[in-house]
Amino acid sequence: MDTGDAVPDSGEFIHRTEMFRRELLAHCYRMLGSVDEAEDLVQETYLRAWRSFGAFEGRSSVRTWLYQIATNACLTALRHSGRRVLPSGLGAPGDDPYAPVTMAGPEVSWLQPVPDARVAVDSDDPAVIAASREGLRLALIASLQYLPPRQRAVLILREVLAFPAAEVAELLGTSIAAVKSSLQRARARLEQLAPAADQVAEPSEPTVRALLDQYIAAFENADAAAITRLLRDDATLEMTTARTWFAGRRTCAPYIVAQALGRPGDWRMLPTSANGQPAVAAYLRDGDGRYQAFGISVLTMSEGIARIVVFGDPGLVTTFGFAESDPPSPVASES
């Protein structure tokens, strides 16, 4: 966009726009399903905004203006990329927990988790915090990927961010009738995909932390009985890089015990949070006895562990602010 000869005032630009960076990152993540791509698109949004700031006439709020730039940048990016998925989006669950899993090739683009620390809302209101978490649940983000990009944008702007229909229409350069129609189709499609996407009763924070501590201890001690006990009967287990996934404790537990748990001390895990859910940064001990980053596991908890999604990408560990290797021992981390 041509901004004329006006040179934006850096101080004023930062003052008026920087406060929206976190929520714009969350928005781009919802649209794209990738924290890496979302970071890039937020940078692009601020660059575009800076270049056109001198021509900003204030006909909308700065927030709405930034969302317009970010949404259009995401829509452009989505024209050149495929849908991001979890293993459960590629086929039926596996029925043999002792067989080798089927790995996916480079043609599959995986969904990524987002660190809560990057997108946490600046509010003390429990209702606002709960709504923010709900809008980033992993099951919701996975379901959003099945919607056409413009339907996805309408649903996020209307349902998650509560923009009025008229404002969404202006944002997307369309009519109010088209926004309402897109929203109706998006809702219907989402209901088909996940009638109760992650709609589980949230346990209290102390209960969540206790379950997470038990999960970490079970892995670090290679405690097969503890892992089995923690899983709900209807638990699911997914592992990106593999097409194979499991549904039900009868297959999830044997797979973990036989093919993942290893020996005591093989795993080291550090607690974190992602997508408004408890998570761990996982490290696996190599042949030299050093712990190397393995990935991030996101857990859904409700009267036990209902779902585990293991993102087997070592690079995500540093995205979540942890070291690439040799994390602090549990004793050191408590001191």
β-sheet bridge partners, residue 310: 239, 297
Query: 31 near 84, Cβ under 8 Å?
Result: no
Strand partners, 237: 246, 308
Q: Are 112 and 25 in contact, with CB atoms under 8 Å apart?
A: no
- What does the pLDDT read at residue 8? 63
Read off the pTM. Answer: 0.90
* Per-residue pLDDT, 23: 94
Q: What is the pLDDT of residue 87?
A: 97
Which pLDDT tens digit goes with each residue over 88-137?
999 999 999 999 999 999 999 999 999 999 998 776 677 777 777 788 99
| pLDDT given at position 93 | 97
Give a three-class secondary structure readout of the chain: CCCCCCCCCHHHHHHHHHHHHHHHHHHHHHHHCCHHHHHHHHHHHHHHHHHHHHHCCCCCCHHHHHHHHHHHHHHHHHCCCCCEECHHHCCCCCCCCCCCCCECCCCCEECCCCEHHHHCCCCCCHHHHHHHHHCCCHHHHHHHCCCCHHHHHHHHHHHHCCCCHHHHHHHHCCCHHHHHHHHHHHHHHHHHHCCCCCCCCCCCHHHHHHHHHHHHHHHHCCCHHHHHHHEEEEEEEEEECECCCEECHHHHHHHHHHHHCCCCCCEEEEEEEECCEEEEEEEEECCCCCEEEEEEEEEEECCCEEEEEEECCHHHHHHCCCCCECCCCHHHHHC
In sequence order, what are the beta bridge partners of 84?
109
Give the residues of the chain that fall short of pLDDT 50. 1-5, 197, 331-335
The pLDDT value recorded for residue 329 is 73
Rg (CA), the chain: 21
pLDDT of residue 134: 83
Residues in the chain: 335
Sequence-separated (6 or more) residues with CB below 8 Å from residue 34: 84, 109, 111, 112
Q: Are 159 and 137 in contact (CB under 8 A)?
A: no
Q: Are 299 and 282 within 8 A, CB to CB?
A: no
Quote the pLDDT of residue 17. Answer: 93
Distance CA 70, CA 25 (A): 9
How far is residue 327's CA from residue 75's CA, in Å, rounded to a whole number? 39
Gap between the Cα atoms of 2 and 48, Å rounded? 11
Q: Is 149 exposed, middle or buried (CB count within 10 Å of its CB: 0-12, 13-18, 19+)?
A: middle
